[in-house]
């Protein structure tokens, strides 16, 4: 399979259930896509939703955040694949875990920093997440667990960045 040759994320229930034999695949797979439609859909999501979050975090923190969410999505997928134990090799590509990390950050903001988003923006966040889960359940080629893992990673990482920012503000004053 060509995707594996070029850096796709791979787990095998017996030989490498958590993808740890080649850990670099946790990151390289985030930059790979299964086709032009997959790439364009992810590009659209990044172009629409990433810039406001990047402004909130700052560019360097955002890059770190985005990559960690992609890795987190792959890690959650590996854990969930092992629990499911369907017996087959799991191959994953795409930036969806990282993109769902962005959605997870917006979910955090929608729930705990409501003043930063207007009501319609909060509704948009909820709608995207609901439709994303439904789509992930209905489309067999989509890795639901990478989406869930990326969203959880984004939610938790954004919370950590917020705490660090608040702590830094307290120390400066």
Round to whole Å and give the CA distance between 58 and 121: 21
Could you say which of 33, 77, 81, 147 is catalytic? 147
Please say if 2 is a catalytic residue.
no
pLDDT per residue over 57-82, tens digit each?
A: 999 999 999 999 999 999 999 988 76
Got the DSSP string for 103-167? HHHHHHHHHH-GGGS-HHHHHHHHHHHHHHHHHHHH-TTS-HHHHHHHHHHHHHHHHHHHHHHHH
In contact, 110 and 83? CB cutoff 8 Å: no
- Strands 9-11 and 90-92, by their bridges, are antiparallel
The kind and range of the H/E element at 9 are strand 9-11
Q: What is the pLDDT of residue 81?
A: 74
Predicted model pTM: 0.90
Q: In 3D, which of 169, 11, 162 has the Cα closest to residue 76?
A: 11
In contact, 123 and 130? CB cutoff 8 Å: no
Could you say which of 29, 77, 81, 96 is catalytic? 96
Round to whole Å and give the CA distance between 143 and 162: 29
pLDDT per residue over 76-115, tens digit each?
A: 999 887 655 556 788 899 999 999 999 999 999 999 999 9
Using pLDDT thresholds of 50, 70 and 90, give the confidence band for residue 1.
low
Residue 63 to residues 46, 55, 138, 165, Cα–Cα distance (Å): 12, 12, 30, 17
Q: What is the pLDDT of residue 48?
A: 95
Q: What is the pLDDT of residue 83?
A: 59
- Neighbouring-strand partners of residue 12: 16
Please say if 29 is a catalytic residue.
no
């Amino acid at each position: 399979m060509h995707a594996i040759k070029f850096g796709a994320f791979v787990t095998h229930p017996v030989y490498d259930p958590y993808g740890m034999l080649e850990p670099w695949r946790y990151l390289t797979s985030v930059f790979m896509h299964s086709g032009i439609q997959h790439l364009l859909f992810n590009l659209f999501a990044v172009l629409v939703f990433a810039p406001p979050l990047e402004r909130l975090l700052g560019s360097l923190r955002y890059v770190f955040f985005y990559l960690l969410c992609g890795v987190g999505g792959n890690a959650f997928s590996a854990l969930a694949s092992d629990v499911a134990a369907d017996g087959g090799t799991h191959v994953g590509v795409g930036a969806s875990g990282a993109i769902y990390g962005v959605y997870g950050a917006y979910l955090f903001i929608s729930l705990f920093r409501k003043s930063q988003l207007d009501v319609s923006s909060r509704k948009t966040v909820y709608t995207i997440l609901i439709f994303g889960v439904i789509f992930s359940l209905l489309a067999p080629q989509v890795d639901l667990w990478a989406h869930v893992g990326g969203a959880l990673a984004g939610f938790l990482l954004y919370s950590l960045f917020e705490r660090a920012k608040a702590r830094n503000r307290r120390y400066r004053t």
